[in-house]
A and B are shown apart, each in its own frame.
Chain A
């Protein structure tokens, strides 16, 4: 079956513009995670969804970052007034129902964001 997909694969934008990044999780997966991966760094947790609700938004770096999930499926990460330090690869992952702490996360290929 289809894996996690993300779009666009690459996004180049100018400082100050808004961007939207999309994640399509595997069908039936209830948990969805957004991470940011900067060059030479590990994965930085941004936000976690269980269904359409986000019980943990603690990783969002500023109020310029927001995310939503609709229909328990597609999620959109929005970055407003982008800054150069927002340049990174944004990864989405989903997990099936069950105990998330035991569950494998299935990752998408990521969106590479470059802010000029």
Chain B
């Protein structure tokens, strides 16, 4: 079994300040982990993914995430928020092993960026 918990439903930051979106997971198998972004009325787009290589993963638009097995976390960060970062962000876990190809999505975190 696997699950994903996004700890904040909304995060509000000012433009130019750091962003932290928190994600904890549980998985019976070694997971692959993903962050997707969804802008209003658009489909989801991959930001970055962890697939058992380097634990610090860099993605598009200056985002990065660190896989911490001991904490079962995969938090998303960005040093400086931009207005265009305002969107919904989804953390996703996909189990490696167990015969299941079905990823589990978190409920999402809405990032609000103030000028």
The interface of chain A, by Cβ under 8 A from chain B, is 3-4, 31, 35, 40-43, 45, 48, 50, 55-56, 58-59, 91, 93, 100-102, 104-105, 107-110
Contact = CB atoms under 8 A, between A and B. Distances in A.
Contacts of A109: 41-43
Interface stretch (B14-22, B76-84, B93-101): B93-101
A45 B106 contact: no
A29 to B, nearest CB: 14
Nearest to A100: B101
Contacts of A45: 102-105
A23 B45 CA distance: 17
A104 B106 contact: no
A64 B10 CA distance: 34
Nearest to A108: B43
B96 to A, nearest CB: 5
| Most chain B CB neighbours (cut-off 10 Å) among A59, A101, A108 | A101
Given A42-B107, A48-B102, A104 B46 contact: yes
Contact of B108 (A42, A108, A110): A42
Contacts of B90: 42-43
A41 B88 CA distance: 11
13 contacts: A42-B90, A42-B105, A45-B103, A56-B100, A56-B102, A91-B43, A100-B94, A101-B32, A101-B94, A102-B51, A107-B36, A108-B43, A109-B42
Contacts of A102: 32, 49, 51, 94, 96
B79 to A, nearest CB: 24
Interface in B36-60: 36, 41-46, 49, 51
A56 B41 contact: no
Contact of A42 (B34, B45, B106): B106
A58 B107 CA distance: 19
Contacts of A41: 107-108
A50 B34 CA distance: 21
A107 B41 CA distance: 12
A101 B103 CA distance: 8
A109 B90 CA distance: 16
Nearest to B93: A101
